[in-house]
Each structure stands twice: as C-alpha cells, then as structure tokens.
Amino acid sequence: MTVAAHRAASYTGEVWPGRAYPLGATYDGVGTNFALFSEVAERVELCLFDADGAEARIALPEVDGFVWHGFVPAIEPGQRYGYRIHGPYQPRSGHRCNPNKLLLDPYSKAIAGIFEWNQALFGYTFGDPESRNDDDSAPYMPKSVVINPYFDWGNDRPPKRPYADTVIYEAHVKGLTQTHPDVPEQLRGTYAAVAHPAIIEHLKDIGITAIELMPIHHFANDSILVDRGLTNYWGYNTISFFAPDPKYSSNASPGGPVQEFKAMVRALHEADIEVILDVVYNHTAEGNHMGPTLSMRGIDNTAYYRLVDEDMRYYLDHTGTGNSLNVGHPHSLQLIMDSLRYWVTEMHVDGFRFDLAATLAREFYEVDRLATFFELVQQDPTVSQVKLIAEPWDVGPGGYQVGNFPPNWTEWNGKFRDTVRDFWRGEPATLDEFAYRLSGSSDLYEHTARRPVASINFVTAHDGFTLRDLVSYNDKHNEANGEDNNDGEGHNRSWNCGAEGPTEDPEINDLRARQQRNFIATLLLSQGVPMISHGDELGRTQHGNNNGYCQDNSLTWVSWTDADAGLLKFTREVAALRANHPVFRRRRFFSGKPVGRRGAGGLPDIAWFAADGSEMAEEDWGASFAKSVAVFLNGDGIPDLDVRGQRVVDDSFILCFNAHHEPIEFRLPPADFGAAWRTVVDTGTKRAPDELRAQAAFAVDARSAVVLQAVAETRSAGPQ
C-alpha cells in the first residue's frame, strides 16, 4: 500500500455530474464545479484538503470530450484541492501518469502553500531516471484554491491609451516597492504597495502611462537555487497561468492575492495607468525529463509539452529552461487563450508582454508568424483589443524574429537597444542604423503595414545591466549568483567610461552622468513606444551583475534613498517634452517629402543634416568615422488627426547628436527651416546657448545631445 493510499479517505458526500465548461474550479454560490482536461487519463480523482492537511478523494463522475467533471455542493471559496490521475506511466511513449503525485489544477485561480523540494515531487528515483517513484507528493505540494470570483470594481474602466501616447515602465512588484520609505513596511513588496499613492505619484511624475509587471503568475522557486540559498526572483518559472503569486500579497487568506491584485489594478486605473503583465506561456516550472511532476506533466504530458518524436522521454527545448509548451495541441492553445481572456475580463489588465514569444509561433520546428496561436488571438474579440507585446526571439533555430510578428502586435525592439548602445559608446559605422531607430525603425515594420508604435524601444530591461551599470562596467560581475560568473550575457555593448565600477574620478563620473542622460533623451524622443526599466531614472545599480534573476535582496531592489536627483529631474523634463509635443510620437512613418499646409512648396517632414549644416549625402551615412548628426522634425508635417478629426500641428524641433569624444561645432540649417531656436534639452556639461538664429554655429559638448525648439512665432517660416 502506498503512502498516498494510506492517508486518503473516500468522500461520502454528494457529487453531481456538473459541467465540462468552464475548466477549473467554478464557485456559483451553491457549490463548486470542477473540470479537468486529460485525454490519457483512465480515472481522475479530485482531492480535497482540510486545514490540517487531511485528504478526501472524489472520483469525478463524468467525462465529455476528454474533460472530466463533477459538481460538489457546499464547497466554498477557500477550499484547497488538487488532482490525482490514474493512467499510463510509459515515459518512452510520453506518458507520465502516477496517482501518487498530487497535481495542481492548470486552471487554478489561486494557490496556497509552497513547494517543499523532496524526492516525492519527482516521478523517478534520483540517480535512475528510468525508474518510477511512488512516494506521495501531497505533503510537499502547494494546493489549488477555490476562489470567490466576486469583487466590487466600482466605476473601473480601462484607460485604453493609444500606443503612440504610451510610456511603459517595466517593474518587479517587490523590487520596485521593497525599500520605499513612504510605503508601510507591512505592504512593501506587494500588489498593495504598487497601488500605494507614493508609487503612483512617482510613476505619474515621470510620465509613465503603463506599468509592465514582471511575472506575477504563480511560479516555483527552482530546487537548485533553493539548495544554494538563492531564489527565483524574476519569476520566469510559471506553474499556473491563472493564479497571482501569493509571494506578492499582503493578504494571507487563500483567496487574498486575487482580491489584492484586483484592488491594485483598480487603483492604477484610477490614476490613468494601464497594467501590462509579463507572461510566460512558452514553458513551465516542470522542466525537462529530470524535472518534478507538479501539474501538466502528470495530467497529460503529450498534450501539454513538445516531445522529441524519436524518443518521447525527452522534451523539445526552445526556451533554454527544459521544456516548451505544445502550442500545436488544441487544449494547450485553449489553456493559453482562456488564461488571457481571464486576465482581461476578470482581472481587468490592459495587455501582455509575451516572454520568448517566438516559441509560441512554433507549431513544428520552424517559427511561423501565421501559427494557430496568432490566428486565435487575431480572431478573439477580447484578447485582440488589448496591448500585445512580443519578446520576438527564443533560443531555437531561427528564433530571432524582430520585425516579423503579425500586424496587431508590437515588439521589444532589440535592434533599437543594440544600435543606441553602440552609437553612444562610439562604435564606428552606426550612424545610418541609429537614424532608422530614432525615426521609428521603418526598415523593420513598414513592409508589413505596421506603424512606428510597433517598436517598443528600450535601452535596458530586467535582463542585463541597469542604465547606471551600462556606463560603469565593461564586464559582467555575477559572482554572487554562484555560477563562477558564467551566467548572463557576455556581450553587453557597455562602456565603463574609463574605470571598471565605482570611481572617485570626477571626469569619469561626469561622463557617466552625460551618457545616462543621452540614453534617456534618445529613448524618450525616438519615434515608437519607450520603455524605461524600473529605477533607471534614479540611477539604480546592481554593481555590475547583469543577471539578477536569483537575487532577491538589496542588489536588485530599487534604492529610493540613494536616488540620483539630477537624473530623476532630467527624466521628468524630457518625458514632459515628449508628452507635450506630438512630433515625438507620430502615428505614421516619415516620408521625407514636402508636407504640411504649403504642400509641395513646404518643408519635408524630416530632414537630416551634417554638423556643418548641409543636408546629409548618401556617402555621409556610411562613413565609419561619422559620429554626429542633426535631424529636423517638422511640426507642420504630422499626418495625424486629433480626436476631433483636426490635423495635428506642433512646433518643429532640431535634435543634434554628438557621440564623438570631443565637442563638435554644429551649424543650424537655413531660415527656411526656422528663423529662431531655443535650447530645451542639453545632456552635456557645457550647455548650448539658450537662443540661436538660423545658420548660427554652436558647440555640442563631447558625447552629448542638444534639442532645439523653433520659436513659436517662426514655426511656420519657409518659402511661400
């Protein structure tokens, strides 16, 4: 007799047939309907747990279309449960059913407890992956929880802000809030902390319109990290696509995280800030064939995971994490789509950033941009209407797919990140590509009828150096991760400005400050949708660690008391400039042709100039030594309409960029482009003159940018 059989008691209460839809546990005020998909199961047992951990088992009485279901009267919110699946254990055929393993419901809306890493969680005995381990895993498993779906949303309405007017802030729930002095200590690190007025005020202050939260789906802390005294801080190890992780909740009740998350969304919406979730549908925490049996592996392994055809003991891995979800199977696709709809309709989120999204495009081995998943999203009346952001790569063959996602998708533009980093660190022959990135990356998106907003522009993100570290380190310093500094990206396109790490040299520190301002200005004034990584505006450092995935401590938390006040002020001012001037957030690509109210006799919507004031020639772009350029943005040449249907008109601007190590003299273009200009942004130490006339010469400091605004009364100057 197994341990599981010894502890379990048969349920003696009523069980009704119930319904096959919706999947998961659904409370209706009378009782709870349970429904679980498994094509391979021969019998499915619902396991109910009381507060002391005692277990009662119910054989689900009905199965329709491979969905096992039953309705249990009087089961109320807060009830802990799981499943045991009776079926084949044949790893060579891909089947790993074992009723001695308690399994989480893939549709769990809440999960209580933690994974206690024990041999019992694994389907085999350590040292012998061909064996079968029948130890009962229930004592070491968290439990799924029946939730109360009711919540008072009040007058909550999604902001539905257009992409062109969006500024995204990528943040970690705990990392953003754990040390904020104005957030009550008992709330720090939680959903409630993100909703705290002090955090919301900061977001509003720097012009943020959408917060993109790193994974909050319930995830597992990897056993290998736990053994090293570390933790999966980032959370890219999902085990439930519906349940908000209780690690970020100040409400300890079983359904508390759901209520607290909803309250956070409501508060952010009241402040006109959208909520975007970083979601991990490409793999799960069950890992490869050596991983634990926690949920889908034991329910229907062949349906939920992509396996190697020649030997189905093994998993196809396009993610670098051990497994890949089988998006070619209808029930796996249903799981993802049901999850997305749930977060939009029940949790009121405004969009999703899809981790390693290229994996979702793989129906067989190749990346197919017209894969079934994208067709389903396109046709879904709910999911298709929210913000959809792809991380357009994975680690499989042909996985780098920047520019190749469907028209209703936006993408993290990795080429923007790489080009902008290279330009400002002085790499040769980057000027032409820098111009593409600054003007919206038409080379990547225009051919698919997309617009500049398809590009989510970023210089830094959670993965890699912080902005301050980007200008302070040439090399990664990940020793604290316990992997002999072998983890993390080795090619960072960073530059330490002359010294590795902290220094007392005032010239180096001045240069680092300029470089941070250069990156912020370039990011916020480029066409497309800017994304700021949390704390970059405050000068956050990870002391050279570019892979803080396992560091849940002060190394990765935002330090509010050490904030760089000057950089914060600069970020605030440039964000306001972007918000106030639609010429920096156009909805259509530039044409380079005469536009505006004077038609063919007018000025082009964009023009590029060399430092001497002459228009850039073809040979100027390819010169390896070229590190400076000026761009004219015509405020009278915006082809957009406002909400009243009126053509948008703005002031014109000239942006001057000098990535050279010495000051460069720039000369303004002729009066046709504007008779008088004033300096509104200068990232340099030696500020440009406040006012300038047409064709005036002025110095742009070494490695600096200057933004000039046409004086209002001369904005429309030009040939008549």
Read off the tokens for 561. Answer: 């008391």
Catalytic residue check, 391: yes
Whether 439 and 445 have beta carbons less than 8 Å apart is answered as: no
Catalytic residue among 170, 274, 391, 536, which? 391
Read off the tokens for 404. Answer: 């190749």
**DSSP-derived secondary structure for 25-39:** EEE-SSEEEEEEE-S
Give Cα 157 distance to the centre of its chain: 22
In our burial notation (b when 16+ CB lie closer than 10 A, e otherwise), range 388-408 reads bbbbbbbebeebebbbbbbee
Whether 557 and 174 have beta carbons less than 8 Å apart is answered as: yes
In our burial notation (b when 16+ CB lie closer than 10 A, e otherwise), range 225-257 reads beeeebbbbbbbbbbbbbbbbbbbbbbebbbbb
Q: Report cis status (omega within 30 of 0) of the bond before 22.
A: yes
Whether 627 and 424 have beta carbons less than 8 Å apart is answered as: no
Catalytic residue check, 463: no
Whether 632 and 639 have beta carbons less than 8 Å apart is answered as: no
Residue with tokens 């914060």: 568
Whether 11 and 57 have beta carbons less than 8 Å apart is answered as: yes
Nearest to 156 by CA among 195, 208, 110, 186: 195
Catalytic residue among 170, 355, 564, 650, which? 355
Measured CA to CA in angstroms, residue 518 lies from 124, 472, 521, 574, 683 at distances of: 54, 14, 5, 11, 6
Alpha carbons 156 and 73: distance in angstroms, whole number: 33
Reduced to 3 states (helix: H, G, I; strand: E, B; else coil), residue 269 is: helix
Alpha carbons 529 and 410: distance in angstroms, whole number: 9
Alpha carbons 675 and 694: distance in angstroms, whole number: 5
Residues serving a catalytic function are 355, 391
